[in-house]
Structure formats: C-alpha cells, structure tokens
Chains A and B, each alone.
Chain A
C-alpha cells in the first residue's frame, strides 16, 4: 500500500552542516496493519514518517501510495492527499493556542468547505468518543497533557483518513494514558485503518496489536522484529 524505494533525505545539502537523515530506505507498509518504526532519537524515524505523510519530500528515491507515485506531485496535490488520506498525531499535541478545543479539532476540515453544522456534529462525536466532549469550549491551554493528546487524535480523525500517522505519541504520557492511547489504536485497527507509529517505548512496540516492528538506526533499516 505504501512503498518506499531507495529513499534518501539530506538536510542542509551543500553546507558544512549537511547531514543525511535517511540512507536508501526501502520499505513496504501494509494496509490495515499497525506498523511501528522503532529506533533511538536521531535514527530518522520522524523524517521517514513526514515523507510518508507528504509533509516533506525525499532528496532522492520514490514514494508510492496505493501504487501511485507521489514524490513528484505538485504541492497542492500533496496537500490534498495529506488532507484526505492521512491523520497526524504528533509528539507534541501541536494544538493552536487561544482557540477552543472544538475549533482546533475542526481545523483540518476548513479547506474542504464542509457544512458547519454537520462538521460540528462530527467533531463533537469524536470528542465524546475520547471522553473530552465536556472540554469542547475550553481553550487548549487549559487542557492537561492527556486531554491535549486526545484532542489532537480527534483532530487527526476529523477528515476520516485511512492512514493514521503517530510520531512518538506516548513520549509525554504517563503509563495509564499510554495504555489508553494503545486502546484507541486498537479501535482504529478494528475500523480498518492503517496505523504507522514511531516509538522507542516498549509499551508501544511490545503491544499485542502491533503487527510489525521495523528497527531504525543511523538513517537505515536495521531489521525487523
């Protein structure tokens, strides 16, 4: 479903500070499975995730989504794919401060011009499913770490994406909240979604729902477990 062929990513190319985050990565990610990219900090997991999620382009190599080459697509097509296909859960909740939880959750749907009333119903349902409906009108800065994380999950799901991408989702959560997060992932899987997670948290990569763990080190795949 997602195919990476000889993907390389070089930052600050041509500068003395040039460094290669990914080196000839070849990877196939299956549909409707939970795949974990495991590795220490700086191993290139997040860079790979942002390339898969159309947030950045590789310096070399190709990325195919459902057999379609997406690497060379113009920016607006990439945005469209990103908006409709991927839901992002970042390491930090990355919510916009100063506006309500509900507005934050609805943000990805704004460019699609969906009717406000139906969008609001959808957002409220999402918040209710993760038990934070009571916080809908609150500003995001008033939320606890776990609540902010859940709000960002609802935001990732608002456009009903088929692929969920989560970058170190448990890094800022305690054990209880981390287990709660994995329960949510299980639910996604049962709904037929594809989940790609980067993590070096055993609670994540040792979880029963995880179908595949890909080990990363120094920008290369080291093996699978």
Chain B
C-alpha cells in the first residue's frame, strides 16, 4: 500500500478515535444537527407531497360547476335549468349534485354530506364502484372509490375521519336531526377508502331520498350542477354561454377550483415556511457557535499534533473528515427519519396544524414524492456550511506556531 493511502488511513482512524473521545459532546452535536435536518426535510417532504397529492386528486374534479345565485349568495339550483345547460353547444354531459354540510353538536364537527350522482357497475360480480365525479377520465384519480357497498335508503357511507371521531363503523347506526325536527337513524354500510382521505375524511354519502328528507329540499331543486365539456379548450366559451343563458347562475371552472386549493395549500405551506425558517435560524446559530472557535483542549491538541510533525494540511484534513462525518451522518439520519415521519407515520409532529379542518383530521399515508432539487438544496444548506464552519477555526489554529498553540493553553 502506498504511503499516501496509508497516511489517509491513519488520519481517518485518528479522526474516528477523536470523535469517540468526545462521545458526549459529539453525540449531542449529532442529535441536534439531526433534529434540525429532520425538521427541514420533513417540512420539505410534507409540503411538496401534499401539494402534489392534492393536485393529482383534484385533477379529477368537474370541469365546470354551475351554482345558482340569489342576491349574490349560493342558492339551490332548479332542476329545470339542467336541460338549458345540456342544450349548450359543446357540452358533453350535465349531472346534478346534492351536497351540503351537517353540524354534529355531539362531537362539535362539521360533516360534508353528498349523494353519489353516478353509479357504475363494474365487471366484477357483486362489487360496485361509486365515483363522485362525473368526469371518468382514466388518467385522473377518482375522488374516492368504494367496493362492495350498496347505498340504499336508510343507509350511509362515512369517511374515515368521522368513523375515528365517533368511534363507529360498519353496521352501526348514526342519528341525524332532520330539518323538520325528527330524528333519522341511518345505518352505516361502509367507510370510505383511505386512499384519498385528504378530501374525504369528513365526507358522508347518503341516498338522494334521505338527503332531501334530512335537509327538506324539494325534488325540483339540487345543490348545483357539474358539466363535462367535449373540447377542454372551449371551457371558458361554455362558461360564457352559461352566464348568458342563465344570468342568475355562476359557472366555476376547474382551474379556479384548483387555484383555490392551491392557495389553501400555499397558506399551509406558509406555515411550514415559518417552521422551516425557525429550523434554518437554529442551524445558523449552531454553525456560528461551531465556527466561533475551538475549545482550549482542541487548540492544545492541534498544537501537539503540529509539534510532533503534523502539517497544517493534515490537521485541516482531519478536522474536515470530522465535520464531514458528523454532518453526513446527521444529514442522512435526518432525511431518513423525515421520510419515515412523513410517509410512514403520517407526520404526527405537524399534522394537526396543517391538514384537514374542523376536528376531523385526515389520517392517511402520503404518496412519497421526492424532489431531487430539494434534497440537493438541503444538502448545500446544511452539510456544506457546517463542514466549512468546522474548518475555519481549525485553519486559524493550525496556521499559528505549534509553540504558541501549546503555550497559550497549558495542560
């Protein structure tokens, strides 16, 4: 083996023994560093994945939603106007929707109630898939799917958030207070798939008949209408025609819905930026502390090494390896822990603040989306400054005479 390689081995061996000599200090340093990387990486993974997830799910939302307006407020949509919408040139399909909110005073939570508008029998005998959106474009994920449950009058299907909150499940009954004051007891026939819990956590599905009875809505009214347009580039044109033919209505195109969701997630992302900034600040303080100087013991040790014949470059190399080992270990541990935290354990650290609303927090595993650019940014934000911060004071100490380094510190 060449002397150069042997020398590198000696330096690395000495570095490792150096790290182990200050076990408590270095372990504390590593733990703090890992924690900061963990927070930064969790923030990055979480915001990126939640936005990605939401945009994929919401790609399946209707192209146009038409609402009736009365005095500028959303009102019930007359069924007779559905035909007017169908007659607009370029419209592929129009479906009516019945949906609303129900406040459960028992658990102080708001539920979203919905009647499934389209029920498609699948090829599999005995299984039925219910899709909420009328857009069956196979490139997009349905809002939610359900297998094997037939929704009949007197029954309902609930989201996982509700099931958790009320500790109920399939076969249980759930009481509702109808608009006329009577109590409706509906039997739960299933819970919604957790695949898209981000948007279905607080959702309840019930038949049209039960929905109208619960809220006292006449048969000639629905909540709103959803439309599919033959040519997506004509969406704005169709929306303009709707405005013209039904002046008291409001067409909402998908892009607007996506924009709204995007702004909500951006707002939540903003909260993450606050956490992110705090973690970056902690890191800066930590790196500054490291950069501001070496302990008397470390200076003395550098003095001894130089006195016995180590070159400045050997000492710097040793300290570089020391910094690199700590920062790389912390970086990889932090990133791996953040990955597990966000994608396997459902981000318990920041979940309550960032997802869902009311008291129904979604509980679902985010699909892992990792952006290489983000990981690289994180690497350059943490490993590089720390390693540099380790080298600077070492360089300062290693370039002074060994005699001075030893004299000023003593034994």
How many of chain B's residues have a CB under 8 angstroms from any CB in A? 35
B215 is an interface residue with CB less than 8 A from chain A? no
7 A-B residue pairings within 8 Å (CB atoms): A56-B402, A75-B312, A76-B313, A90-B406, A96-B304, A107-B305, A116-B6
The contact of A110 among B4, B7, B301, by CB within 8 Å, is: B7
Is B108 at the interface (CB under 8 A from chain A)? no
Closest A residue to B402 using CB positions: A55
Q: Which residue of A lies closest to B300 (CB)?
A: A94
Q: Mark B235-249, 1 if CB is under 8 A from A, else 0.
A: 000000000000000
Partner of B3, one of A83, A94, A98, A113: A113
Closest to B7 in A: A113
B1 within 8 Å of A (CB atoms): yes
Interface residue A112 (Cβ < 8 Å from any Cβ of B): yes
Determine chain B's interface SS by DSSP, over half rule: helix
Bitwise, A48-90 to B at CB < 8 A (1) or not (0) is: 0010000111000000000000000001100100111000101
Cross-interface CB contact of A94 among B7, B314, B404, B411, cutoff 8 Å: B411
- Could you tell me the distance in whole angstroms from the C-beta of B78 to the nearest C-beta in chain A? 84
**A83: contacting residue among B9, B17, B309, CB under 8 A:** B309
Q: Could you tell me which B residues sit within 8 Å of A by CB distance? A: 1-7, 9-11, 14, 17, 20-22, 301, 304-314, 399, 401-404, 406, 410-411
CA distance A55 to B403 in the complex (A): 6
Give chain B nearest CB distance to A25 CB in angstroms.
Answer: 16
Binding site for B on A (CB under 8 A): 50, 55-57, 75-76, 79, 82-84, 88, 90, 92, 94-99, 103, 107-108, 110-116, 155, 159
Complex: how many Å from CA A8 to CA B253?
Answer: 87
Beta-carbon contact of A111 and B17 below 8 Å: no
Most buried by A among B3, B22, B308, B312: B308
Given that A79-B310, A94-B406, A94-B411 are contacting pairs, would A113 and B17 also be in contact in the complex, using a CB cutoff of 8 Å?
no
Q: A55-B402, A57-B401 are in contact. Are A113 and B4 (CB under 8 A)?
A: yes
CB-CB under 8 A from B22, the residues of chain A are 98
- Separation of A113 and B3 alpha carbons in the complex (Å): 4
In the complex, chain B residues whose CB is within 8 Å of the CB of A56: 401-404
Complex Cα gap A225–B46 (Å): 81
CB of A164, distance to nearest CB on chain B (Å): 13
**For the complex, what is the distance from the CA of A97 to the CA of B295, rounded to whole Å?**
14
Nearest to B1 among chain A residues (CB) is A115
Chain A residue numbers with a CB within 8 Å of B310 are 79, 107-108, 110-111
**B401 with A155: CB separation less than 8 A:** no
Q: In the bound complex, do residue A103 and residue B403 qualify as a contact, i.e. CB atoms below 8 Å apart? A: no
CB distance from A189 to the nearest CB of B (A): 22
The smallest beta-carbon distance between B159 and chain A, in angstroms, is 59
Interchain CB contact (< 8 A) of B6 among A57, A96, A114: A114
Which residues on A sit within 8 Å (CB–CB) of B304?
94-96
Contact A107 B307 (CB under 8 A): no
B21 touches A99 (CB 8 A): yes
- Name the A residues within 8 Å of B312 (CB-CB): 75-76, 79
Distance in angstroms from B375 CB to nearest chain A CB is 36
A167 CA to B99 CA, complexed, in Å: 92
Of all chain B residues, the one with the shortest Cβ separation from A84 is B309
Q: Residue of A at shortest CB range from B3?
A: A113
Bound-state CA distance A50–B306 (Å) is 12
- Write the chain B residue with the least CB distance to A47: B403
Q: In the complex, how many angstroms separate the beta carbon of A37 from the nearest chain B beta carbon? A: 15
A113–B12 CA distance with the chains assembled, in angstroms: 12
Closest to A93 in B: B411
Closest to B309 in A: A83
